[in-house]
Structure 1
Amino acid sequence: MIDPAILLRYRGFIKEFDKNETVFLQGEEPRYYYQIVQGKVKMNNYNEDGKEFIQGLFGDGESFGEPPLFCAVNYPANAVTLQATRILLISKSDFYTLLEHETSSCFTVLQALSSRLYYKSIMAPDISSNDSEKRILTLLHFIKEQNQVGQQEFLVELTRQQIADMTGLRVETVIRTIKEMESKKQIRIERGKLFI
């Protein structure tokens, strides 16, 4: 994402979070740009029945939670660490100054936001579909594409629960559907690991 040295030059700072620590809550006002130095973060929210829906998973070098910084709205989801995580933060005003002076960083942010918008647009039709196989394949192909693997086989580092939470399916449905997909040779499973 943005070169950490540039973020630090514009008064960014690194903060350490424990596993399962909340970075921000749904409904809070955005005050910082967040970029992961090392670790993993999920953005999630819950429906009225308490079922979790994962909006996105982010790892080393990735940023998260930017859209509310630009459109003056509160966070639509929570951000929670999945492991001990170090995050580089920069205040909203300092981030704006950075973007005004660092053109390449501005385009990097636009590219990341566009990629996420693309993900939402390809997932939206499938989320409303009852075809669990289609939902899962769309998610897996997108993740593979984002990692720029091309034709090579790709190890999907998501749990069955995370796949369920990202597709709006029940974990039992994900497990059953993945077995069916394996029998159709759409994916490969080795020692519980999922490859596409």
Structure 2
Amino acid sequence: MTVIPSSLLQQYGAALNRFAKGEYVFHESWPAHFYFQVEEGSVKLFNAGENNDYIQGLFSHGESFGEPPLIAGFSYPANAKAITNCRIWVLKKTDYLRLLRDNPEVHFEFTKMLAIRLFHKTKLLNAMNTQNPEKRILTIIDYFKDKAPRTTPCYEVPFTRQAIADMTGLRVETVIKKVLRLAEIGELALLDHKIVRH
């Protein structure tokens, strides 16, 4: 769901910046001065760990990221990195806040989007508190399934088993075993090594 049309972003002075695959958009603890919205490519929001990253979110076309620190005035609690070559709209904080004040319908859609993210984050935290790895895996897959446009009745999971491990706090070996188990009981399907959720 595109929060702000690109024409409106341009009207308020946004620039369309390019980020190469692997390039950081911002680092954890940097002050928040800009609004970011993906035009093309994918970005991950993550915290770096000793052995692997913990992915907080994945964002693609039309999705924005990093807004809570921008609005509340605190530093970024995570890193943002391009996972493909990206083009990202970048708008100064003062211009972004003016855009929201001038366009109450955009402000409402933005508030609704944040509420949906908070709802899903709460569901994910509840799943993380359980020792059931299958529930963790299905919760994260269902989160992205709910975000995806409805073009077919089945949802093809667009990321690797390693990415699922990074989002659920599980080891990749555990994810591989549990995905096979979930396929055996019909919760998932495996087609040419791709994970599919009905």
The letter for the 2-side match of 1:51 is: N
Cα distance in 1 for residues equivalent to 2:151 and 2:127: 23
2:177 maps to what in 1? 176
1:26 maps to what in 2? 28
The CA deviation at 1:150 is 9.5
**Secondary structure at the residue paired with 1:116?**
helix
The letter for the 2-side match of 1:81 is: A
Residue 60 (structure 1) aligned with residue 68 (structure 2): no
The letter for the 2-side match of 1:124 is: L
Alignment of 1:1-196 (within 5 A): 1-47=3-49, 49-147=50-148, 149=150, 152-196=153-197
Cα distance in 1 for residues equivalent to 2:105 and 2:97: 14
Cα distance in 2 for residues equivalent to 1:71 and 1:79: 18
Cα distance in 1 for residues equivalent to 2:134 and 2:93: 40
**Secondary structure at the residue paired with 2:17?**
strand
Cα distance in 2 for residues equivalent to 1:14 and 1:31: 16
Cα distance in 2 for residues equivalent to 1:151 and 1:128: 32
The letter for the 2-side match of 1:182 is: A
Residues 45-71 of structure 1 show CA distances to partners (whole Å, capped at 9, x for unaligned) of 023x34310000000111000000111
Q: Compare 140-149 and 170-179 and name the one that shifted more.
A: 140-149
The CA deviation at 1:14 is 0.6
- Indicate the RMSD between aligned Cα atoms, in angstroms: 1.3
Give the direction of change, closer, same or farther, for the CA distance of 1:84–1:150 in structure 2 (3 Å limit). Answer: closer
The letter for the 2-side match of 1:37 is: E
Cα distance in 2 for residues equivalent to 1:125 and 1:114: 17
Give the direction of change, closer, same or farther, for the CA distance of 1:151–1:14 in structure 2 (3 Å limit). Answer: closer
**Secondary structure at the residue paired with 2:89?**
strand
Cα distance in 2 for residues equivalent to 1:193 and 1:4: 33
Cα distance in 2 for residues equivalent to 1:38 and 1:150: 20
Q: When the two structures are superposed, what TM-score results if normalisation uses the length of structure 1? A: 0.96
Cα distance in 1 for residues equivalent to 2:187 and 2:55: 24
**Secondary structure at the residue paired with 1:7?**
helix
Q: Could you list the runs of 4 or more consecutive aligned residues of structure 1 that deviate by over 3 angstroms after TM superposition? A: 148-151
The CA deviation at 1:111 is 1.8
**Secondary structure at the residue paired with 1:186?**
coil
Cα distance in 2 for residues equivalent to 1:50 and 1:73: 27
Residues paired across the two proteins, number: 195
